[in-house]
Amino acid sequence: MCGIYGYFDRSGCGLAAQALAAMDTSLVHRGPDDSGVFEAKGVAIGNRRLSVIDLAGGHQPFVSDDGKIALVQNGEIFNHVELRTELQRQGVRFHTDHSDTEVLLRLYEREGLDFPARLNGMFAIAIVDARNPGPAALHLLRDRIGVKPLFVQDDGNRVLFGSEIKALLAAQPGRPTLDLPALQHYLAYNYVPPPFTLFAGVRHVMPGTVLSLTATGSTTRRWWSLAEQRPAAQQFSAWQDDFLALLDDAVRLRLRADVPFGAFLSGGVDSSTVVALMAKHVREPTRTFCIGFPDTRFDESPYAREAAQRFGTTHRERIVQPDMLDDWARVLWHCDQPHGDASFMPTREVSRLAVQDVKVVLTGDGGDELFAGYDKYASFMADPTLRDLPATDFARHYVEHTGLFGVEARAALFQPWLRHKLADVDSVRDVATPWFEQAGHFDRINQMLYLDMMLLLPGNNLVKPDRMGMAVSLEARTPFLDWRMMEFAFRAEGHTKLHCGDKKHWFKRAVEPLIGADLAHRKKQMFTVPIGEWFRGTRQQWLHDLLFAPNALGARLFDLAQVRKLFDDHVSGAANRTRELRALAALELWAQHFEPQLAD
């Protein structure tokens, strides 16, 4: 687990040494153990390393024997042992004992850009290749579903890239410019959907793609697509056998580390299943971690203790005060962008607890998106007329149902100049529709899940364990997002996941013998804090001062009468505006740090 950064200049000019050093420093929390950089004419790649595999021999960048190829990665390749053995049988010589990053270099030397399909892991990779005459090329690759982040900024001549946006900002003077279409998308989705960011000119390298940069331009190629799966009818018993075997092997592979590891354990079905499978593969008790709250409505710690006792783990929990709003600004600094999701804050707290004992944790992330675990899926599909809508209408209804501000609400919120500026921006057509079109062969349930796999995961739900873990130099691994499990899940028909309102229908039945009926069928409890109640009580003045400060970003963008109505309706109890106010508050806290300017 690391942070990577660098630049590519098409004219062959270098980046100032202090700018490159600033990029490195901005990512030190992602890799406090080591640092390295490779520079050539007009290009550099750097790495901040959190040492997890081959602690002594894994220094990056890795450079080929002839000095013409250099490679850095952020992440882990879980099948590096098998790949190394295969390459050694073919006569490939290695210089490290078991570095997974050297395996990447040797694969690229032999197979070029076809090698990512061989990888089972989470990764963002940068490769400098100077084997051809003329200037070197730079290749940027991202894992299949975006577990590891990667951002680029291309001004037509110079390209900056980094694991976090703050690395790009560190390399250039001045204030960033707010991306107005991305702002609309944020208000529509409650997060900024990729490839957009709130920084003008900064975009995600999309999951499952490789971006190749040369002196003459850039090309993007998709090397993996979940949409290639074709659902087929199955019997439950066969599905159960395959599901458990795949997940068991995904967990086994993710236990490879040269440092202590453990797991987040909430007592929910996903984390309990992961911990149950971990217990099968380790000699010592698995170390598990959970935080709880004094308010029993939000406290999962009793269920976590039940699961820990069942699986014989060494369990640590901490009861924390739920009001974490004083830490919210720091959380958003780590995220680089605003998120209306309040669960980032408790995720940071459980990460801070775990890192006292371990350097790696396994999590249950991805299970809800693969197998329909959220209430929103059941509530949306409760209306049978939606199944028969044309694809475009279905997409629009789904986004409106699960998103934040609808079209009319956004129009009312914006000041007239901004409403006019964004008149041609459609947050369904421009963001969701292309993904729904790819998923046209899926049933309606799998279409919903596919959209969330492509947008919600890399845009929000995977940002959470990555950034909150990396904030304290803790690596999070996600067995449910093993590529084999993702493909398996989308070969299953939608009714196996959501049946008559029963979420994770087959999933829960499959794991019941493993974790017990109580844990398998426990009602899902969201990992969150009661911000809405605080906004009506102890934090009412705090929220008022944040939203209505004379220098607030919202004062330049929004009709403050509309913001006032949201505030007053919520405080009075006339309506629950928690989600809207939470998103607006996150935007203001983000703006206080990054100080975005508005384009002319």
| 138-147: pLDDT as tens digits | 999 999 999 9
Q: Are residues 22 and 99 in the same domain?
A: yes
CA distances, 564 to each of 100, 171, 413, 544, 547 (Å): 54, 39, 10, 9, 9
Report field, pTM of the whole predicted structure over 0.85: yes
Structural domain contains residue 557 = yes
**Residue 419 domain-assigned (yes or no):** no
Same domain, 218 and 162: yes
Residue 135 and residue 266 in one domain: no
Strands 151-154 and 202-204: antiparallel
Place of tokens 């911000």: 531
Q: What is the pLDDT of residue 324?
A: 86
Same domain, 32 and 88: yes
Residues 208, 225 contacting (CB under 8 angstroms): yes
pLDDT at 57: 86
Please tell me whether residues 476 and 565 are part of one structural domain: no
Same domain, 13 and 73: yes
For the chain, the distance separating the N- and C-terminal CA atoms, rounded to the nearest angstrom, is: 40
Which of 501, 520, 539 terminates a domain? The answer is: 520
Phi (first) and psi of residue 34, to 5 degrees? -165, 165
428 part of a folded domain: no
Tell me, yes or no, whether 590 lies in a domain. yes
Q: Which two tokens stand for residue 228?
A: 């290639």
Bridge partners (DSSP) of residue 318 are: 291
Judge if 210 and 334 occupy the same domain. Answer: no
Print pLDDT tens along the chain (600 aa): 689 999 999 999 999 999 999 999 999 999 999 999 999 999 999 999 988 988 888 899 999 999 999 999 999 999 999 999 999 999 999 999 999 999 999 999 999 999 999 999 999 999 999 998 888 999 999 999 999 999 999 999 999 999 999 999 999 989 999 999 999 999 999 999 999 999 999 999 999 999 999 998 999 999 999 999 999 999 999 999 999 999 999 999 999 999 999 999 999 999 999 999 999 999 999 999 999 888 777 778 899 999 999 999 999 999 988 788 999 999 999 999 999 999 999 999 999 999 999 999 999 999 999 999 999 999 999 998 888 888 889 999 999 999 999 999 999 999 999 999 999 999 999 999 999 999 999 999 999 999 999 999 999 999 999 999 999 999 999 999 999 999 999 999 999 999 999 999 999 999 999 999 999 998 876 666 789 999 999 999 999 999 999 999 999 999 999 999 999 999 999 999 999 999 999 999 999 999 999 987
pLDDT for the residue 526: 61
Q: Which helix (H) or strand (E) holds 475?
A: strand 475-477
In this structure, is residue 172 part of a structural domain?
yes
Burial 282-319 (b: 16+ CB within 10 A, else e): eeeebbbbbbbbeeeebbbbebbbbbbebbebebbbee
For residues 107 and 116, what is the distance between their CA atoms, to the nearest angstrom? 9
Token readout for 537 is 């009580």
> What residues contact residue 60 under an 8 Å CB cut-off, 6+ apart?
2, 34, 36, 47, 49, 71, 72, 73, 101
Can you tell me the distance from the alpha carbon of 203 to that of 458, in angstroms, rounded to the nearest whole number? 13
Q: Is residue 282 part of a domain?
A: yes
Going by C-beta distance under 8 Å and a sequence separation of 6 or more, which residues neighbour residue 292? 299, 300, 301, 302, 304, 317, 318, 319, 320
101: in domain: yes
Residues 213 and 221 sit within 8 Å (Cβ to Cβ): no
Residue 188 lies inside a defined structural domain of this protein: no
Q: 165 and 23 in one domain?
A: yes
Last residue of a domain, one of 464, 496, 520: 520
Is 234 found in the same domain as 211? no
- Nearest Cα to Cα of residue 400 among 384, 380, 419: 380
Structural domain of residue 343, as residue ranges? 229-371+472-520
Contact 134, 12 (CB under 8 A): no
Indicate whether 56 and 131 sit together in one domain.
yes
Of 481, 371, 389, which Cα lies nearest the Cα of 436?
A: 389
Q: Structurally, how many domains does the chain consist of?
A: 3
Q: How far is CA 101 from CA 164, 323, 340, in A?
A: 20, 41, 35
State the CATH number of the domain containing residue 285: 3.40.50.620
Give me the helices (H) in 211-355, please: 236-253, 269-281, 301-311, 328-335, 344-354
- CATH number, residue 35: 3.60.20.10
Query: Which pLDDT does position 49 carry in this prediction?
Result: 92
Q: Quick one: 200 and 262 in the same domain?
A: no
Rounded Cα gap, residues 176 and 198, in angstroms? 9
Residues 499 and 555 in one domain: no
